[in-house]
Amino acid sequence: MSSVFIQESKPVSFFITLVEMTDAARRGLEEIPKMHTMIHNGLSLSEYQAFLHDLYHIVWHFCPIMAAAAARCDDRYREVRYELYERIEEEKGHETWVLEDIEAVGGDVAGARSNPPSAPVQAMIAFNYHGAERVHPCSVLGMLYMLEVVSSVYAGRVSDSIARAIGRDVEGGGFKFLSSHATMDVDHLAKLNLLIKKVDERAAQESIINSTRVNFYQFGLMFREGGFTSLIGG
């Protein structure tokens, strides 16, 4: 008498689902001509200064958006709340690194502080506040996922490419934020993986997937007409 053993398949973790449902949006970034150029051939000095201007505002709002989300996390999402508290502590002050980079490459630090970013970046920032405050606090994890994937995958290559293009050494100043986060966000992404796997409420999961897709889209618009290059000479 023979017996048949049927092995039950393990449920796919939500983190894998998130990757599968949003990776096309991530890969689509490389199809944008300006981003493809930046990754492989760098930027001109004026373009890099404008890019840092936009980046400064993204980083400036990073902690306040996480704080807004943490304030709305009840005890169902206490682990998300605690992770956001920890991430805020780690990330606070990093906007000053961007200002240091702007100064190091001869950019306008005062202008970066006082002038708004490009329209796509304003829209991305507004979307993330809206998601944290009006949609679902876990939507902030979509912002974290997008930024940390982009940083861990591209930041190191981008800093090297831009440094070559403008005739500078990465270690000589002007690339502190990009270079540091290329390594830092690999660890952050691993921690985010563990956290996202624990999010099992459908509404929370849907908010994270939507947020991730929109953030990839809005980030991509930075590299199109009306993005950071529109700030050159402004």
At 181 the pLDDT is 83
Give the other-Cβ count within 10 Å of 19's Cβ. Answer: 16
Residues 94 and 61: beta-carbon distance below 8 Å: no
CATH number for the domain spanning 201: value is 1.20.910.10
**Residue 8 within a domain:** no
**Would residue 65 count as lying in a domain?**
yes
Residue 169's pLDDT is 93
Place of tokens 């956290």: 195
Q: What gap in Å lies between CA 148 and CA 191, rounded to an integer?
A: 11
For the chain, the domain total comes to 1
Give the model's pLDDT for residue 227. 98
Domain of 50? 14-231
- Does some domain include residue 7? no
Query: What global pTM score does this model have?
Result: 0.92
Residue 138, in any domain of the structure: yes
Residue 53 lies in a domain: yes
pLDDT digits (tens, 9 = 90+) for 89-120: 999 999 999 999 999 999 999 999 999 999 99
What does the pLDDT average to over 179-196?
Answer: 83
| Long-range contact set of residues 66-69: C-beta below 8 Å, sequence gap at least 24 | 66/91, 66/132, 66/140, 66/144, 68/129, 68/132, 68/133, 68/140, 69/132, 69/137, 69/138, 69/139, 69/140
| Dihedral pair phi/psi, residue 226, rounded to 5° | 95, -5
Q: Does residue 109 sit within a domain? A: yes
- Residue 54, in any domain of the structure: yes
Residue 94 lies in a domain: yes
CA 217 to each of CA 22, 42, 83, 212: distance values in angstroms, whole numbers, following the listed order: 11, 21, 25, 9
- CB within 8 Å of 188: residues ≥ 6 apart: 87, 90, 144, 148, 152
